[in-house]
Amino acid sequence: MSGRSRILRWAIPLAVVPVLVLLAYGFRTDPRDIPSPLLGRPASPFKLTAFDGKPVALESLRGQVVVVNFWASWCYPACYEEAPSLERAWKTYKDRGLMMVGVNFQDKDEPARRFLTQFGHTFPNAPDPAGRVSVDYGVYGVPETYFIDRKGRVRFKQVGPVSDQMLKDQIERLLAEEA
Amino acid sequence: MTPELGYAATVAALILAVYGSGAAALSAVKGRADLRRSSERAAVGVWLLVMTCMALLIYAFLTFDFSVRYVAGNTNLGTPFYYRITAVWGALEGSIILWAFMLSIYTLIVMARYRRTQPQLYPWVLAVMLGISAFFLLVMAIPAPPFERLSPIPADGRGLNPLLEDSGMITHPVALYLGFTGFTVPFAFAMAALIIGRTGDEWITITRRWTIVAWYFLSLGLLIGGWWSYHVLGWGGYWAWDPVENAAFMPWLTGTAFLHSVMIQERRRMLKLWNLTLIILTFSLTLFGTFLTRSGIIGSVHAFSQGSVGQFFLGFLALIVLGAFSLLAWRLERLHAQGELDSIVSRESAFLLNNLFLVAAAFTVFFGTVFPLLSEAVKGQKVSVGAPFFNLVNIPIFLALIFLMGVGPLIAWRRASAENLRRNFLTPVAIGIAAAAICRLLGVANALVLLCLALVVFVAATIALDFARAARARRRTGDGWLDATWGLALRQNRRYGGFVVHLGILVVALGVAGSQAWSTQTEATLNRGESMELAGYTIRFDGLQGVEESNHAKVVGTFTVSDRKGPYTVLTPAKKFYPQEQTPIAAVDYRLGFMEDLYLVLGEFARDGSHATIKIQVNRMVSWLWIGGFLLTLGAALAIVPEPRRTPAVARAGQTAAA
């Protein structure tokens, strides 16, 4: 066999390498990662009644950094994983200008309350019976968390559970900004 | 206990598979029979252990053992009994067990059948098959453990994906995976043949029937998938060119190409390299399909969860593709064709064209499927190509394939004479053209449908002609018509099984053409008591009703339908509300018919039941798909049946005398 065909024969296995590289590239992208059109836009206002009966309104929170977290008791395990982090962040930053609101998404009253008791949430949590707020924010699934700056604009959206570190990064960045 | 037992069984099976694969390879190299026997025992052990895993998982589902994360994630206390069993393969982790289980069964069958008859190929086949099993067990052990423990144990689980609560889901994954894993057998034989350097026709002869088995199940899986899509997803279609459908379709295309090109190798000793390439491609594409569904790199309606599974699959895919093609390159000089192509007008060239088109179709489907990735890598934009691209490219290819389906089986080998062409094709071509002309006169205006019809009738006529000639020849030997027909089908079952498959495809092709061209739909909001009309049906909205099921609530609409002849039926499409799902799931209702289906999807509605929006479709000739599909699988089954031993007439006479 000549030298040329000796090289040529390896062309067959080598030909598939670019395809494999392309597929490997696929791991660096996320087909579902479509940026929220709400980023940089004013957050839509809402008025809800919390589980404890108190009103929660976004309008009255202007000037504060607001974290809106959408959750459900049936959202296992993601919502259960992030719940302690949310409560920790709330305790750390509530006196420094942070407001946190939990919006309960397509849930039943009793298991939702059980969830809140289980994690001892002290920040306001409200059901969204008509699903209005979820639709306004374009919630695709739970958990999703929106970070709103002091001027009332949505600045960051997290799809999936939040972590301590990420809450810290986002909240501190927004707290550092002027109203 | 279940999580620990299951995990232990998984790890033990993994160790046995790795050991068995190594021992089988070593036994082949050193020629040691003791090692070979040991690897066989390992294979039996793998089978027993994977079966244990399967049984444990089913048990965990039946007993609502929410200490198993997978059980908690895919069932809840309201999930009915039968769906708790199908939930076993309702998501990633369990589907891998099912895969490993089927592979272990195939391994045992191969072992039982070839350990004596193929002493040289067989140890390597065993090594390859156990090696592939080891990979799936590795996935079960590390990135996708089905037996992961959940702590604390929740009171209730999340529930099965509601779209999977359907009878189609009992059979669809099973058939599909039997098809996917089935291609492991020819692949393993091909690798074994390359390793020992016996690249003659032996492995082809052995694996042909296995390829038909895999092809049979893959076809069945695709068909049931189409049926599921049609009657569950509620969009009125059966094929959407979704990445996951494509993933199963690509190996079907290359597998079909392989089934045809092996005939040329058997007959003419050509295309050895090509056949090996095709079987490597087919097996790689089954892995690619699995990779695609499990990695989350491409958005799809069916995608399983993400995680590091994708990386494992890609690594394994790379290993298989690079390893197999390197082996091929290493053995290249043994793969020269012994025969030559004599003429362009011959059966060989018809089969070559058939292969070319099938592989081209597979390539376009591949290209369209990974296009979003390519576009993002090159231009940084997320773009998908949808049905228009696939249809545009593939319709001409499939029409050409149908044409070749008529030519291939009847044209002469080597070099077709003018006499051969005239004798075999003049009448069928005339019948095909006449059929299209008649339909044109009857008012069929769609050019594509007419072309498809002409081709289909042409092919059907060639089959009928061939069959009639053969049956007449047999009848001359004294058999009656029925005996002659039946005898032919059984005696030359590969040929006639193939013809029945072809007939099935023709019926499917007509169904596709008809449903694409003639289906019609409309959407309307009706007040209670109000009626509307579509294509001769009058549909009256009679109200809504709320129903509470064990794991969901549903709102059922009642619609009374009458057609031109009077009252026809009552349809009750519904919307199902599952607590764990963000959006309600439509439950369609339909009446299937030979020429048309009436298909109702409930849309928005008023809570008080005063009005509702309804989508009404009249889908034409969709039933032909299922009928054609049934024929197709019937033909494949006929081709699998072992051919009756040809006992010499004398011996047969002797037996009769003795009896």
Which structure tokens are listed for B589? 């209702």
Instruction: Average the pLDDT over B322-334 and give the result.
Output: 86
- Counted residue by residue, chain A has a size of 179
Instruction: Average the pLDDT over B91-110 and give the result.
Output: 92
Is residue A85 very low, low, confident or very high in pLDDT (cuts 50, 70, 90)?
Answer: very high
Per-residue model confidence as pLDDT tens digits over B203-219: 888 888 899 999 999 99
Which structure tokens are listed for B436? 């299209």
Pairing of the two strands A98-104 and A125-127: parallel
Interface of B with A in 462-521 (CB under 8 A): none
Contacts of A127 in chain B (CB under 8 A): none
Name the more confident of B530 and B202. B530
Per-residue model confidence as pLDDT tens digits over A90-110: 999 999 989 999 999 877 888
Name the more confident of B198 and B249. B249
Does the pLDDT value for residue B545 go beyond 60?
Answer: yes
Is residue A29 very low, low, confident or very high in pLDDT (cuts 50, 70, 90)?
Answer: low
Does the pLDDT value for residue A178 go beyond 80?
Answer: no
The confidence score (pLDDT) of residue B648 equals: 43
Contacts of B296 in chain A (CB under 8 A): 30-32
Interface check A16 vs B, CB under 8 A: yes
Interface check A41 vs B, CB under 8 A: no
Contact A16 B291 (CB under 8 A): no
Interface check A130 vs B, CB under 8 A: no
Count of pairs with CB atoms under 8 A, one residue in A, one in B: 84
Contact A23 B296 (CB under 8 A): no
- Helices (H), ranges, B183-271: 184-196, 202-232, 243-268
- Determine the Cα–Cα distance for residues B386 and B393; give it in Å rounded to an integer: 12
Contact B329 A27 (CB under 8 A): no
Count of C-beta atoms within a 10 Å radius of residue B85: 15
Give the minimum alpha-carbon distance from A156 to chain B in angstroms, rounded to a whole number.
Answer: 21
Which structure tokens are listed for B20? 């068995």
Contact A26 B295 (CB under 8 A): yes
Contact B582 A141 (CB under 8 A): yes
- Helices (H), ranges, B380-409: 387-407
Contacts by B442-451 with C-beta closer than 8 Å and gap 24+?
B446/B517, B448/B395, B448/B513, B448/B517, B449/B513, B449/B514, B449/B517, B451/B399
What are the strands, taking DSSP E only, across B475-536? Answer: 520-527, 531-534
- Determine the Cα–Cα distance for residues B496 and B321; give it in Å rounded to an integer: 35
Per-residue model confidence as pLDDT tens digits over B283-298: 999 998 888 877 666 6
For residue B333, count CB atoms less than 10 angstroms from its CB and return exposed for 0-12, middle for 13-18, buried for 19 or more. exposed
Task: Give the residue from B226, B289, B369, B285 showing the smallest Cα distance to A31.
Answer: B369
Domain boundaries, chain A: 37-175
Does the pLDDT value for residue B15 go beyond 50?
Answer: yes
What ipTM does the predicted assembly reach? 0.73
Question: For an interface test with A, which of B148, B325, B378 has the most A Cβ atoms less than 10 Å from its Cβ?
Answer: B325
Is residue B41 very low, low, confident or very high in pLDDT (cuts 50, 70, 90)?
Answer: very high
Interface check B243 vs A, CB under 8 A: no
Task: Give the residue from B3, B1, B33, B36 showing the smallest Cα distance to B19.
Answer: B36
Instruction: Average the pLDDT over B541-549 and give the result.
Output: 87
Over pLDDT 70: what percentage of chain A? 90
Interface check A62 vs B, CB under 8 A: no
Per-residue model confidence as pLDDT tens digits over B347-375: 888 888 999 999 999 999 998 888 877 77
Give the minimum alpha-carbon distance from B38 to chain A in angstroms, rounded to a whole number.
Answer: 34
Chain B CA closest to residue A35: B382
Angle at which helices A17-25 and B347-379 cross, to 10°:
40
Task: Give the residue from A109, A127, A122 showing the smallest Cα distance to A46.
Answer: A127
Which structure tokens are listed for A111? 């298991």
Count of C-beta atoms within a 10 Å radius of residue B180: 26
Per-residue model confidence as pLDDT tens digits over B413-436: 777 777 888 888 888 899 999 999
The confidence score (pLDDT) of residue A35 equals: 62
The confidence score (pLDDT) of residue B655 equals: 41
Interface check B382 vs A, CB under 8 A: yes
Contact A16 B321 (CB under 8 A): yes
Does the pLDDT value for residue B55 go beyond 50?
Answer: yes
Instruction: Average the pLDDT over A152-170 and give the result.
Output: 89
Instruction: Average the pLDDT over B333-340 and give the result.
Output: 71
Interface check A140 vs B, CB under 8 A: yes
User: What class does CATH assign to A37-175?
Assistant: alpha beta
Give the minimum alpha-carbon distance from B303 to chain A in angstroms, rounded to a whole number.
Answer: 11
Interface check A7 vs B, CB under 8 A: no
- What's the CATH number for B520-621? 2.60.98
**Which H or E run includes A129?**
none
Name the more confident of A89 and B410. A89
Give the minimum alpha-carbon distance from A106 to chain B in angstroms, rounded to a whole number.
Answer: 7
Contacts of A140 in chain B (CB under 8 A): 582
- Over its C-alpha atoms, chain A yields an Rg (Å, rounded) of 23
Is residue B654 very low, low, confident or very high in pLDDT (cuts 50, 70, 90)?
Answer: very low
Chain B CA closest to residue A27: B297
Interface check A49 vs B, CB under 8 A: no
- Counted residue by residue, chain B has a size of 659
Contact B321 A32 (CB under 8 A): no
SS3 B576: strand
| Nearest neighbour of B579 by CB, restricted to A10, A74, A140 | A74
- Determine the Cα–Cα distance for residues A165 and B405; give it in Å rounded to an integer: 63
Question: For an interface test with B, which of A9, A10, A23, A115 has the most B Cβ atoms less than 10 Å from its Cβ?
Answer: A23
Contact B325 A13 (CB under 8 A): yes
Side-chain half-sphere exposure of B553, counting CA atoms within 13 A: 5
Does the pLDDT value for residue B653 go beyond 50?
Answer: no
The confidence score (pLDDT) of residue B80 equals: 85
Is residue B402 very low, low, confident or very high in pLDDT (cuts 50, 70, 90)?
Answer: very high
Over pLDDT 90: what percentage of chain B? 35
Instruction: Average the pLDDT over B39-54 and give the result.
Output: 96
| Nearest neighbour of B377 by CB, restricted to A9, A25, A107 | A25
Count of C-beta atoms within a 10 Å radius of residue B658: 6
- Determine the Cα–Cα distance for residues B629 and B621; give it in Å rounded to an integer: 13
The confidence score (pLDDT) of residue B646 equals: 47
